[in-house]
Amino acid sequence: MKEIRENLEILKKEANNMEENSTLLKLINVIDLLTEKVEEVIVNQETMEENIRFMDTDLSGIQEELFEEVSLEDLEEIEDEYEEVNCKHCNNPIFIEKSALTNNEDITCPYCKENILK
Ligand SMILES: [Zn+2]
């Protein structure tokens, strides 16, 4: 951008020293305005890129926080291994490991202290 600016200044000086230079001067003014616009666009784009980088970092942070303790695979495994059973006595829902359900005939309810299975 600096190079374009410098060349533009040289052109302006040369055009000012020329006779019959009004068309050329108008042209240079147009280029001048375009250069300003391009500079604006570049600055905007840089700002946007920076914002996107910040957003990306924020999102990564949130993602890490969300999945730090429990991964999706872990969640699926938990769902596989546990089963919701309602206590036969108080009807409260209790999550119990499937293996515990098949291996035990007596499971104490945390709510009513009775055997949830009988
Ligand atoms: Zn119970």
pLDDT tens digits, residue range 31-71?
Answer: 889 999 999 999 999 999 999 999 988 888 888 877 777 77
CB 28, CB 14: distance < 8 Å? no
Q: Quote the number of domains for the chain.
A: 2
DSSP 115: B
CA of 75 to the centre of ligand 1 (A): 26
Mean pLDDT, range 22-28, rounded to an integer = 83
Q: Residue 51 has what pLDDT? A: 94
CA of 106 to the centre of ligand 1 (A): 12
CA of 110 to the centre of ligand 1 (A): 7
Q: Does residue 36 sit in the same domain as residue 20? A: yes
Domain range for 44: 2-68
CA atoms within 13 A on the CB side of 30: 6
CA of 74 to the centre of ligand 1 (A): 28
Burial class (CB in 10 A: 0-12, 13-18, 19+), 116: buried
CA of 100 to the centre of ligand 1 (A): 17
pLDDT higher than threshold 90 for residue 72:
no
Q: Residues 80-99: pLDDT tens digits?
A: 788 889 999 999 999 888 88
Q: Residue 79 has what pLDDT? A: 66
Q: Does residue 17 sit in the same domain as residue 64? A: yes
CB 115, CB 106: distance < 8 Å? yes
CA of 96 to the centre of ligand 1 (A): 13
Q: Does residue 91 sit in the same domain as residue 54? A: no
CA of 93 to the centre of ligand 1 (A): 9
